[in-house]
Structure 1
């Protein structure tokens, strides 16, 4: 729990720099947290908590330029509400996952980007890292630095935004982030196919993604996931989302249904119900109340259904099969071995044990050199990545 350690509550970027510098000089370590929703992913073994919750200011928002600059403690829900008021959205549709991870906190934009978390629209819009234009931060050495900027074409040398997103706060602490936003779709519609077994559903999603329909989300909920709340369907559900102008969405939906005539009965969800459905998929709501360990497995989309069949437990497929959420008591080594055999990797998001398998070979060596350059003393989030 947060209260079991000394807590430093940073209110400025200068507070962050001072806390890291002092920790390094004293041989102490820091656990960096925002809303605290992802604290149970990985076992951080640190002396002190550095909280960024009070770094919660929107620094600059230029809707006409599609650019937003914020501090890391801004709550994700508040940020989504802000951009929605201007008819815009965070394109990578980030999940909060608080309920699914058993947290009472509220996700922040800093933690979301640090974990590189992306929702169903990732298959079309890209990941969180693709929308991080630049940031200011403090390395584990206590050095202040900036990377990127406020325009898309600003990268020379190493693209540190790509390095930082997904580093889980182990390299540096971001004190300000600049993000690209996009106009929100005028409407959306989701096609639902019923009763498909996993391999057939994967085939349908592959056809849809290869079509001109511009599918913005594709997921398959097998029987167990479909029966769980909140969907409570009687059989497996395969879902394909289309977004855009109403006439275009309708025309693309009709064409897509024609391409998928061999996949059985189809129904359409209107815009409101479609948004509700994908919010549940994004948050993995079907698995929120299940006590079993929860794995997040990333594999090539065509191999997604194989991951579900290679391991015991229950699954939910997102990203057209490329993201597999697995509820399982399976041995962790077996889960990771199965993921690697399919060209992917697995992370334990809920449950006891190592969350992330250590990188090996050339990739592990490169990761070690990056860590040594940013945080040679191991001040930031020790143990988070194994």
Structure 2
């Protein structure tokens, strides 16, 4: 079955209108469907066109206009028992925003959930991209099928660019079948250093881990939980889960959660950082070597923490206005911190994104000069 809908004159007319607008004016704020922006860019709001589709379930490929809501994409894929394997999060609850996240916004932020530790990030599933650069030119790169391509890989460049290089108008993605079954191994009561060791051990096995997270005690008397997810065909999954349980027995007794609804709820909560939705304070996302994660958290002493990706990604809840990067620098640990939720005043004072080293900063500035020489897009968002 191939779904071909609304890739018609309306889409091209809207894209060309946006190109004319960009060519003639500026500055602009690439804001997707109006959910939120974590930076402080100013300008006229631009939204990418929507309702363009080219979906072939048999080929596991999807091309869609960047303005199409993520939930619409996921619903269409689910109707064919398929999904976006990289598990993009829904950040509305964390940020306290309305609107519908768009698929273009997912690519612009390279948004990837817990399954990234096993299958890769958003950028790894993007086959092609179309965008409008700062000169008002429509640029296309990559393709719509899974094959090798040559030349500069602008697809990877646009992933995580946060709209600073151009307005994404269309995205082509690899999709994946939904597995038959999912299960989670849970160990309760581990300290954070030992939990990261358990996660690293699990990720070092051949059992195809697709989720590796640790949650502190919940404040209501519940013990800490170390969580490891496996997915696949039932017979294979039951064998691998038993073998994983044996491999982790030195960390203590474990339980296996087989219920599909419970499993989905656990990992959706981790994906969307639900634990911090109603909590006061700032939220930081930190990337660090897993072997250094627990020691760093101990030194930073946050109000709460979620370990994801085996400890490679940390979600930290801190006192409002606190300078986490200054505390990190004092530890000497090499880590990267992004300020996800805070007041506008705190964002202005501390900056949303971690400052690049001089070499990376020069490369980033050079790229922006090539794609957006007049700095029309998202000024001040990433330096």
TM over 0.5: yes
Q: Provide structure 2 residue ranges, at least 5 long, that are not aligned to the other structure.
A: 1-11
Aligned residue for 2:116?
A: 122
1:148–1:159 CA contact under 8 A, matched in 2: yes
Q: Where does residue 318 of structure 1 map in the other structure?
A: 308
Which residue of structure 1 aligns with residue 229 of structure 2? 241
How large is the RMSD of aligned CA atoms in angstroms? Answer: 1.8
Which residue of the partner structure matches residue 67 of structure 1?
61
**How much has 1:331 moved relative to structure 2?**
1.6
Shift of 1:338: 6.2
Aligned residues: 363
The equivalent residue for 2:356 is: 359
Aligned pair 1:101/2:95, yes or no?
A: yes
| Structure 1, 299-308 or 98-107: larger mean CA deviation | 299-308
1:99 is paired with a residue whose SS is: helix
Q: Displacement, 1:287?
A: 0.5
Distance 2:252 2:176 in 1: 35
Counterpart mapping for 1:290-301 below 5 A? 290-301=279-290
Within 5 Å, give how 1:121-140 maps onto structure 2: 121-140=115-134
Report 1:1-386 matches (<5 A).
12-23=14-25, 28-39=26-37, 41-46=38-43, 48-52=44-48, 55-223=49-217, 226-227=218-219, 234-269=222-257, 270-313=259-302, 314-329=304-319, 330-335=322-327, 337=329, 341-351=332-342, 352-353=346-347, 354-386=351-383
Q: CA deviation at 1:233?
A: 6.6
Contact kept, 8 Å, 1:137 with 1:173, in 2: the verdict is yes
Query: Shift of the alpha carbon at 1:67?
Result: 0.4
The whole-number CA distance in structure 2 between the counterparts of 1:204 and 1:98 is 31
Is 277-286 or 133-142 further displaced after alignment?
133-142
CA distance in 2 between counterparts of 1:60 and 1:153 reads: 17
Q: CA deviation at 1:80?
A: 1.0
Whole-angstrom distance in 2 between the partners of 1:345 and 1:140: 29
Aligned to 1:7: none
SS at match of 1:135: strand
TM-score (norm 1): 0.90
TM-score of the two chains, using structure 2 as the length reference:
0.91
Give the Cα separation in 2 of the matches to 1:79 and 1:49: 23
Whole-Å Cα distance in 2 between the matches of residues 371 and 306 of structure 1? Answer: 37
Deviation at 1:202, TM superposition (A): 0.3
Moved more, 93-102 or 151-160: 151-160
Residues 1:337 and 1:37: Cα distance change in structure 2 (over 3 Å): farther
